[in-house]
Amino acid sequence: MRTTIRLDDQLAVTFRKAAKKLGLSLSSFISESGKGYLSQIAHPKFKSFSSFKVVSSFEGI
């Protein structure tokens, strides 16, 4: 599918540099980045938990 996106100039430069470093076209880089992002939010490796304090009435704990 072809589409047009508007990027901040500095972000576009950063994307182009990253794509070149990986040997990808800008289009492929953006596509793969999007897939990776969507995979992470769909299947997060770690779920965040609220911190809590454990209080014990047992001696030595």
DSSP per residue, 8-52: -HHHHHHHHHHHHHHT--HHHHHHHHHHHHHHHHHS-SS------
Q: Please give the model's pTM, rounded to 2 decimal places.
A: 0.64
Tell me what the pLDDT averaged over the chain comes to.
84
Domain residue extents for the chain: 9-42
C-alpha to C-alpha distance for 18 and 26, rounded to whole angstroms: 9
Higher model confidence: residue 57 or residue 1? 1
Q: Quick one: pLDDT at residue 2?
A: 87
pLDDT band at 17 (very low <50, low <70, confident <90, very high): very high
Residue 2: what are its φ and ψ, rounded to 5°?
-105, 140
